[in-house]
Amino acid sequence: MSNEFEQFQDAFFEEAAEHLAIVEEGLLQLERHPEDLDLLNKIFRSAHSIKGASGMFGFDAVAQFTHKMETLLDLLRSGKKSVTPGLTDLLLKSTDCLKTLLDGVKLNAPVDDNVVQRLSTELAAVSAGEGERASASSPTAVAEPPASSGGAYDIRWTPPEWLFRRGLDPLQIFKELARIGRLGRVNVDTSRLPDLNNMNPETCYLSWTMRLETAASPKEVESVFEFVREDGELSIEAVAVPDSAPTVSGADVQREAKSATLEISEGGPKSIGEILVESGAVSKEALERALSQQKRVGEILIEQKAATPQQIEQALQTQRQMEAAAQAKKADTASIRVDTAKIDKLINLVGELVITQSMLSDLGTRFEMGQVHVLLERIAQLERNTREIQERVMSIRMVPIGTAFSRFPRLVRDLAAKLGKKIQLVLSGEETELDKTVIEAIGDPLTHLVRNAADHGLEMPEERLDNNKPETGVIKLNAFHESGNICITVEDDGRGLNRDKILAKAVKQGLVADGAALSDDQIHALIMKPGFSTAEQVSDLSGRGVGMDVVKRNIEALGGTVSIKTVLGKGTTFTLKLPLTLAIIEGMTIRVGRETYIVPMLSILESIQPKPEAVKTIVGNGELIDVRGIYLPVIRLYEVFNVQPEYEDPAKAILLVVETEGERVAVMVDEILGQQQVVIKSMEQNFRKVQGIAGATILGDGTVGFILDVRGLLEIARQEAAAADAA
Amino acid sequence: MGKTALVVDDSPTMRQMVAFTLMNAGFTVIEAEHGKDAVKKIAGKKMDIVVTDLNMPEMDGIALIKELRKSADFKYTPILMLTTESAVEKKMAGKEAGATGWIVKPFNPDVLLKTIAKVLPT
């Protein structure tokens, strides 16, 4: 029906998601402020917008369901019903249901009709009584004109006096009538026209009688008067006409109407059945009968015993999955909404860049050595332009983290109800911007942390009171920028981590040796060890082990780090440190022989120049270095990449201590060159995956520099140790 | 000179659909998010037609229609409101405020253009 509108579907889904978030957030706030009318209006408007637009795309299930929500919301905002926890709960559940309905049309995801049905009934039930008002009031009843015999109509029309004041014009009506038929005699009645002194030029004093000869139905004729018929006086009477006008039989009109609907409903080329029906050769009923006898491929195969029903069912399921996957893939090519101000600024900057470039080429055509200072000035300007453009382009991909935070009020509310705890969620820094991909990727780890904080971090209300803490526990989510990174903290004021219990458990799990001297930080890091999580729960230990290793892995995959701060009995803070974007990293450039490599800054802990005796070779562990009492494996980068180094003696070279996934390793290099931002170019896309290398970049002098993959290097160290052992 | 249209809707999707249809039909379109935005954007301008949603933040459609009818530039300009089947009261209020006509959502581009043709002065 609305093919031309299809291109707006993506925009609609994006908008609907925003409205859903507004509705959900609003309902959660409404629980605390049931009297807030502005809030109710806002929620209502969002629901209303979803309803209106979904109807435009023919998503009727969505539109109908939203209409039911809207009806209830309307009763609430008009004060005909008051906000109760039961109602907000129902509306929240309905919001979830609406979400699945929207996903249903967007991704072809399965929708549980029972849930939809149950909620629809419930919504209708609570809105009943007062609800009738919303649906029952039909427009001022107009006597349905007698059924048409086709031919002609006598029309008498006295428009309302204020016709002109609503931007209407009788002339429009006559033109419209003339379009659908032939206007015969038109008589104007001027009897109500006052004399000039008393006449108000904005008032309509006229009325008309006319005859319209047309094949149009009475409904069509009436629709010409659509905007005025409820107010003035209008009568439309069908009259028999002598054979002057071409008469069309009712049956013909009907057939025309039928074929018209067929044409509209079908987008692609017509099937033979449709064409036959249209031409009148076959009735629609006959066609349907014939079609119902046609068998599907699956049925035929089963009949011929070529396949079992199970096989067919399985194949059908695979087909459905493939369709869903294809849909999901399509939906995955997401768009991003960018503030026009950002684009305008960018265009301005490009303009400046072009000016600088033309100034430079102008200088180049007639350059003399005396102008070197001018040249340097221009180059500095070019640099400034480039940096600014880079920043602006990056900012296009930046979205506020609030979108990732928005799911938590609901999550915490539901968790609190389920766990029987009192929890207050405090969000701050929602406006902090970061890369859209990063935002999408941190959703799950964050959810995990918040869930853990609610589940294991916070105590039950009684326990809190016993410990002289307020009954309501607090979970704080905060985001902020810090030296080119973004930090997200998840903080609770619960019981904190118990280092002794963690240590005891880790020893039992064989993760650390009995009696090992570990710092607090190292002990807390244990809960993120893969082995720690799969173990059975120790009930009085905060039990944060569940899936923490997954959180850490996800964050590290984004080039970030996770750190823990905890005070026993006071609470725990998890800090996620993430790069602003995945496309550019802050790197340390290092040199080995004549090659330059880049090490991601985030993974570097320190650099040292060891004493000769600090480096030892231990059987089974390869080469190790003693860093203040802790032994770290040493990786000689020149060996890994097979280049000629300047130094082969660790005491002369420099060792970079890098960390990933809680493991540390010392990487031996010749020299540290400096720190710079580098743009990551993928190895896989341009060459192939190389172990130990995360990607490549183009250096200032135009050569290619490799970005080291610290995790891959650790892997290499392990393999070498094993190989050395075997030898 | 082509015709000009003011399209007011707080839903960007709806607004774009209406604006897009009108632009394809040769209109120059001014888009506004709500009544206040519309009033600001049309200051000192005349439009050939106004299409407005009713439920909007800041200033809703009814208030906008009243406001427009007060100005000499919009006294006789056709104003169409976007309504839904069930919002009969809103429609009546809109008419009282001076709306010329209405388009019931959901509609297709054809209906939109036909309805506009019905009220557009020639």
Same domain, A83 and A124: yes
Nearest to B13 among A12, A44, A164 (CB): A12
Contacts of B119 in chain A (CB under 8 A): 167-168, 172, 227
Using the Cβ of A2 and the Cβ atoms of chain B, whether some distance falls under 8 Å is answered with yes
CA A183 to centroid of chain Cα atoms: 56
Strand A630-636 and strand A663-669: the pairing is parallel
At residue A669, does pLDDT exceed 90? yes
Using the Cβ of B44 and the Cβ atoms of chain A, whether some distance falls under 8 Å is answered with no
Choose one of A558, A579, A600: the last residue of a domain: A579
Using the Cβ of A224 and the Cβ atoms of chain B, whether some distance falls under 8 Å is answered with yes
Strand A663-669 and strand A654-660: the pairing is antiparallel
Same domain, A325 and A347: no
Using the Cβ of A1 and the Cβ atoms of chain B, whether some distance falls under 8 Å is answered with yes
Same domain, A423 and A552: yes
pLDDT digits (tens, 9 = 90+) for A614-666: 888 877 667 888 888 888 888 888 988 889 999 888 888 999 998 876 678 89
Of chain B, the end-to-end C-alpha distance in Å amounts to: 13
Give the phi and the psi of residue B68 in degrees, each rounded to 5.
-65, -40
pTM over 0.80: no
Q: Is residue A245 part of a domain?
A: no
Using the Cβ of B85 and the Cβ atoms of chain A, whether some distance falls under 8 Å is answered with no
Q: Is residue A277 part of a domain?
A: yes
pLDDT digits (tens, 9 = 90+) for A144-186: 444 444 578 888 888 888 888 888 888 888 888 888 888 878 8
Cβ neighbours around A426 below 10 Å, total: 10
Total tally of structural domains belonging to chain A: 7
State the count of interchain CB pairs (< 8 A) between A and B.
Answer: 102
pLDDT digits (tens, 9 = 90+) for A300-344: 777 777 777 777 777 777 777 666 655 554 444 466 777 778 888
Cβ–Cβ under 8 Å, residues A597 and A709:
no
Contacts of B107 in chain A (CB under 8 A): 56
Same domain, A645 and A531: no
At residue B6, does pLDDT exceed 90? yes
- Give the mean pLDDT of chain A: 79
Using the Cβ of A10 and the Cβ atoms of chain B, whether some distance falls under 8 Å is answered with no
DSSP category for residue A459: P
Same domain, A483 and A551: yes
More confident residue, A232 or A469: A469
Give the pLDDT confidence score for residue A249 in this predicted structure: 42
Q: Which of B8, B9, B10, B13 has the highest number of chain A CBs within 10 A, making it the mutation to test binding with A? A: B13
Same domain, A223 and A288: no
Closest by CA position to A469, among listed A520, A412, A421, A411: A421
Helix A9-32 / helix A408-419 crossing angle, nearest 10 deg:
50
CATH fold, domain B4-119, is Rossmann fold (3.40.50)
DSSP category for residue A456: I
Choose one of A579, A603, A626: the last residue of a domain: A579
CA distance A185 to A164: 24
pLDDT digits (tens, 9 = 90+) for A188-219: 888 888 888 888 888 888 888 888 888 888 88
At residue A272, does pLDDT exceed 70? no
Same domain, A366 and A497: no
Distance from CA of B107 to the nearest CA of A (A): 6
Structure tokens at A386: 């480039």
pLDDT digits (tens, 9 = 90+) for A485-516: 788 999 999 888 888 888 888 887 777 777 77
Nearest to B106 among A41, A55, A135 (CB): A55
Same domain, A638 and A654: yes
Give the pLDDT confidence score for residue A478 in this predicted structure: 92
CA distance B23 to B5: 9
CA distance A66 to A82: 20
Q: Which of A23, A40, A227 has the highest number of chain B CBs within 10 A, making it the mutation to test binding with B? A: A227
Choose one of A306, A332, A358: the last residue of a domain: A332
Strand partners, A678: A585
Range of the domain at A427: 400-579
Query: Which pLDDT band holds residue A727 (cuts at 50, 70, 90)?
Result: low
pLDDT digits (tens, 9 = 90+) for A396-429: 878 888 878 888 888 888 888 888 888 999 999 8
Contacts of B121 in chain A (CB under 8 A): 169, 172
CA distance A255 to A251: 6
Q: Is residue A106 part of a domain?
A: yes
Same domain, A53 and A200: no
Using the Cβ of B52 and the Cβ atoms of chain A, whether some distance falls under 8 Å is answered with no
Q: What is the mean pLDDT of residues A104-120?
A: 81
Q: What is the mean pLDDT of residues A683-709?
A: 82
Distance from CA of B40 to the nearest CA of A (A): 19
Same domain, A158 and A282: no
Q: Is residue A142 part of a domain?
A: no
Q: Is residue A143 part of a domain?
A: no
Same domain, A187 and A67: no
Residue of B nearest to A53 (CA): B14
Q: Is residue A412 part of a domain?
A: yes
Contacts of B99 in chain A (CB under 8 A): 166
Residue B101 CB partners (closer than 8 Å, separation 6+): A168, A226, A227, B78, B80, B81, B115, B118, B119
Residue B2 CB partners (closer than 8 Å, separation 6+): B26, B27, B28
Contacts of A172 in chain B (CB under 8 A): 118-121
At residue A140, does pLDDT exceed 60? no
Kindly tell me the sign of the dihedral angle through the C-alpha atoms of A48, A54, A60, A65: negative
CA distance A539 to A333: 44
Q: Is residue A366 part of a domain?
A: yes
Q: Is residue A244 part of a domain?
A: no
CA distance A579 to A558: 8
Nearest to B100 among A57, A137, A167 (CB): A167
Contacts of B118 in chain A (CB under 8 A): 172, 176, 224, 226-227
Helix B12-24 / helix B109-119 crossing angle, nearest 10 deg:
70
CA A6 to centroid of chain Cα atoms: 19
Same domain, A374 and A406: no
Residue A276 CB partners (closer than 8 Å, separation 6+): A282, A287
More confident residue, A482 or A377: A377
Nearest to B84 among A52, A137, A167 (CB): A52
